[in-house]
Amino acid sequence: IGYANLIFFLILFLFFSFLMALPFLLYKWTMGKIKLNIIFWLSLPVYWIAYETLYNNFDLSMGVIRLGHVLYQYPSIIHFYAYTGQLGGGFIILLINLVVFHLLKNWQSIPKRKSFLKILSVIIISIATLNFLVEINNHTAKHKEKIKVALVQPSFDTYQKTTPEILDERLKQLEKLSLSVKNENVDLI
């Protein structure tokens, strides 16, 4: 590795490290300036989602390095992503982590801890069960209808420089392929 590459790597490393630390710095600043609990609680998730949005608009970003992707191995518990999207999922994950952190931090000051745990357990189990039932219902409803789909994929030279003429040629090729399967009683091309 040359010195120029090493220096470039170090600059990028420091820049992205600062960028990742920025939501936490802003959260700490908000904690000192604002005394409203709801704004304080929501500030870190909002700052983090703003960071992820900014980061994902960089040319050097890696799309899989997002908080919302941490649950990809457990699709049965992230059905709510259908409604919130990946960024909303990251927001909810952060919010839950903050609530758990503050509960553990202030555990001794919570009166009637046992009844609180029972209520929290009932709420979590109810939400999980409701989510499961809604998804099972949606899953069975979606598979009752069958549709016929045709897939068309032209062969393009990916190394060919893109010009307006090339794009027109590709569009005509896609149109020709789509029209060739149009008369085969397909519902979706």
Cα distance between residue 88 and residue 107, in whole Å: 28
| Amino acid 75: pLDDT | 73
One-character DSSP codes across 138-159: HHHHHTSS---B--------TT
Cα distance between residue 43 and residue 40, in whole Å: 5
- Residue range 159-170: average pLDDT? 85
| Amino acid 22: pLDDT | 92
pLDDT digits (tens, 9 = 90+) for 117-149: 677 777 777 777 777 777 666 665 555 677 888
For residue 161, with 0-12 CB atoms within 10 Å meaning exposed, 13-18 middle and 19 or more buried, which class applies? exposed
In the block, which residue shows the tokens 């030279």? 157
Say yes or no to pLDDT of 110 above 70. Answer: no
Percent of the chain with pLDDT over 70: 84
Say yes or no to pLDDT of 161 above 70. Answer: yes
pLDDT digits (tens, 9 = 90+) for 16-50: 888 889 998 998 888 888 776 677 778 888 898 88
Say yes or no to pLDDT of 10 above 70. Answer: yes
For residue 178, with 0-12 CB atoms within 10 Å meaning exposed, 13-18 middle and 19 or more buried, which class applies? middle
| Amino acid 9: pLDDT | 86
For residue 30 the two structure tokens come to 């908000």
Say yes or no to pLDDT of 151 above 80. Answer: yes
Confidence of residue 65 (pLDDT cuts 50, 70, 90): confident
